[in-house]
Amino acid sequence: MKPKVAIFSLTSCEGCSLAILELEDRLLDILGAVEIVNFREGMTPRSWDIDLGFVDGAVSTPEDEKELLTIREHCKVLVAIGACACLGGINTLKNPQGKDSYAPYVYGDQAKWFPTTDAKPISAVVDVDYQLPGCPMVKEEFLRFVQCILAGRTFRLPETAVCVECKKNGNLCLYEKGVVCLGPITRAGCEAICPTYGSKCEACRGIVSEDALKAANINLQEQYDVSLEDVLADLRLFGAHQDTTLP
| Contacts (CB under 6 A) with ligand SF4, residues 138-197 | 162-163, 166-167, 171, 173-175, 181, 183-184, 186, 190, 192-195
The residue range among 124-132, 148-156, 198-206, 221-229 that interacts with ligand SF4, by the rule CB under 6 A, is 198-206
* Stretch 91-120 residues interacting with ligand SF4 (CB under 6 A): none
From first CA to last CA, the distance across the chain in angstroms is 47
Contact between residue 166 and residue 196 where contact means Cβ atoms under 8 Å apart: yes
Query: Could you give phi then psi for residue 8, rounded to 5 degrees?
Result: -120, 155
If one asks whether residue 205 binds ligand SF4 (CB under 6 A), the answer comes out as yes
- Identity at 148, one-letter amino acid code: C
Nearest-approach distance from CB 189 to ligand SF4, in angstroms: 8
The residue within the footprint of ligand SF4, chosen from 5, 36, 90, 228 (CB under 6 A), is 90
**Residue 33 or residue 179: which is nearer to ligand SF4 going by CB?**
179
**Binding region for ligand SF4 (CB under 6 A) out of 35-43, 71-79, 82-90, 105-113:** 82-90
Calpha distance 178→227 (Å, rounded): 13
DSSP codes of every residue in 108-175: GGGGGGS-----B-GGGTS--SEEE-BTTB-HHHHHHHHHHHHHT-------SBHHHHHHHTTPPPGG
Strand partners, 8: 55
Closest separation in Å from C-beta 135 to ligand SF4: 3
The contact set with ligand SF4 (CB under 6 A) reads: 12-16, 56-57, 82-84, 89-90, 134-136, 162-163, 166-167, 171, 173-175, 181, 183-184, 186, 190, 192-195, 201-205
